[in-house]
Amino acid sequence: MEFNSADIQAFRDIWVFCEQREGKLSDTDFELISEGRKLADERGARLVGVVLGWNLGDEVRELGGYGADEVIVCDHPLLEVYTTDAYAKVLCDVVMEEKPEVLLIGASHIGRDLGPRCAARLHTGLTADCTHLDIDMGCYRKFLEESSTLDLAAVKMDMEDKNLKMTRPAFGGHLMATIICPRFRPCMSTVRPGVMKKAAYSAEMAERCEIRRVPVELSDGDLKTRVTEVVKAARKMVDLIGADIIVSVGRGISRDVEKGIALAEELAQILGGGVVGGSRAVIDAGWLSADHQIGQTGKTVHPRLYVALGISGAIQHKAGMQDSELIIAVDQNDGAPIFEVADYGICGDLFEVVPLMIEEIKGVQKTGLTPKG
């Protein structure tokens, strides 16, 4: 039967493309499977993970532990290393055969390359860099109540709408846009790593998960490029998403940028090997590299402890860190929005406050106690 993306009644189930590197799944896969489970429950559908690679073993069953009902495995020598041609062909082939209603892809380097190529071949829409997803209108309305300034009483909504609501930053992060794809399927979305919360792992669910290996039709003639060698560069990048402790700096360090960053680094280390992040203003000014950015246009983090130094707390920044377990904010402006989400707030000059914090922590450590975030 010919594939028709406009025949929306023919599509079913929620799919997640799960990216593996050298046979190892990533935390982003588990985050998306966890989110996919929520969407599948809202839709009354099955959740399916799709993994492409070569010599893939039973390790893919781990996806079941986070909510997948089934994992489809596409195993072929030409899928051992990612290439756009091979992965796009195989993923599109299985989508055309099985017809999922929703297809989620992590917004990694691979996902950002693969997603648009597949969307074009499937003649459907793709919403990139999403930070929130809903199908159920009640859940979406609750999200708007908590996260927007809309007067919902004045907004007419179709509460029976079953389209995937894909929310992402727009206009440089100054607005949030919710996008739907009502005429074509599958609804496709790339989702930022670290945005969705990973569910607790269940060994029982993993055991129940069905693993299905499907035949792959792929030959050298399908490929325009071939990877002959993979060389890993030893570039040091900050791991914000995996960090338990983050100390972030904002425009408040402008008086002495070098000293402000040094204080943040010292505080992060003395708190227990934390890392330094930054607001968009800091990255735009070139004071820190882009891999330090936290917020809607950067990374979304959930550390045990988040310390904000000289960050006013624009909504774009708060969206990227407000789910941290404990938030401490230091800012000179007692009306700064950052204090709205902070568990503890200190109104003062960070160049005076942070040295006192460091001195106090060192004093506690000398007693043999370790401060806990």
Mean predicted lDDT score pLDDT of the chain: 90
Model pLDDT, residue 368: 66
Contact (Cβ atoms closer than 8 angstroms) between residue 302 and residue 195: no
Average pLDDT of span 59-81? 95
Position 287, amino acid: W
Give the pLDDT mean for 200-208: 94
Which ranges in the chain are annotated with CATH 3.40.50.620? 8-222
Residue list for the binding site = 251, 279-280, 293-297, 310-317
Mean pLDDT calculated for residue range 298-326: 89
As assigned by CATH, the class of the 8-222 domain is: alpha beta
Which CATH superfamily includes the segment(s) 245-366?
Answer: TPP-binding domain (3.40.50.1220)
> What pTM does this model have?
0.75
pLDDT at 154: 85
Binding site membership for FAD: which residues? Answer: 251, 279-280, 293-297, 310-317
How much is the pLDDT for 147?
A: 77
Using DSSP bridges, classify how beta strands 20-21 and 24-25 pair: parallel, antiparallel or unpaired: antiparallel
**pLDDT at 372 > cutoff 60:** no
Q: Among 169-173, 187-191, 280-284, which is the least confidently predicted range?
A: 169-173
Residues 6+ away with beta carbon under 8 Å from 238 = 275, 276, 277, 291, 292
Q: What is the 8-class DSSP label of residue 299? A: B
Q: In percent, how much of the chain has pLDDT > 90?
A: 67
- Residue 319's pLDDT is 81
Residue 145 sits at the vertex; the CA angle it makes with 153 and 13, to the nearest 5 degrees, is 105
> How do strand 132-134 and strand 165-170 relate by DSSP bridges?
antiparallel
Enumerate the CATH 3.40.50.1220 domain ranges in the chain, comma separated: 245-366
Ordered alpha helix ranges (H), the chain? 27-43, 84-98, 109-122, 137-147, 203-208, 257-270, 280-284, 315-318, 350-366
Strands 245-249, 305-309: pairing kind? parallel
